[in-house]
Amino acid sequence: MNKKDITCHITEYLIDELSDQDRTLADKAREAAGNAWAPYSDFRVGAALLLENGEIIQGNNQENAAYPSGLCAERVAVFYANANYPDIPILALAVVAVKKGKVTEEPVYPCGACRQVLAESENRYGKSMRILMVGRDQVDIVASATELLPRNFNHKNLI
């Protein structure tokens, strides 16, 4: 038997400690959350991606009465970016959740399906993306989607 330990490296920042670029990305994610379609849960999630060409792409969760036909904010943004900028890697993603009109106190992390999509995007472009999980006062940042999903399913599994 061989035992392996898997660790996740998260850096915690206060909102005021963010760089201007990270603050802009967090603000764009918050703005996107305001446009989410969440009539059933009132849990609005926004995402903002920074592409290598400097473009910022926004996405938000889209609920559907025929659950689980909706889609998370992160996947809406990633799929839009991949469809419209197919050759441009994603450098960073910020995600924020809003409940009852207020940003959640704790940062909200991407769900498992979104983590897999983010890892696939990194595999696709051969580049890591920083992920910012934004709470009311605190932002948790990881250097790569593989920090959130270290043993992800990828093209090597299909061989």
DSSP code string of 13-52? EEGGGS-HHHHHHHHHHHHHHTT-B-TTT-EEEEEEEEET
pLDDT in tens, 70-113: 999 999 999 999 999 999 999 999 999 999 999 999 999 999 99
Is residue 80 within 8 Å of 57, Cβ to Cβ?
yes
Return the CATH class of domain 11-151: alpha beta
Average pLDDT over residues 125-147: 97
Active-site residue among 12, 17, 55, 74? 74
Domain boundaries in the chain?
Answer: 11-151
Respond yes or no: is residue 74 known to be catalytic. yes
pLDDT tens, 3-42?
A: 988 889 999 999 999 999 999 999 999 999 999 999 999 9
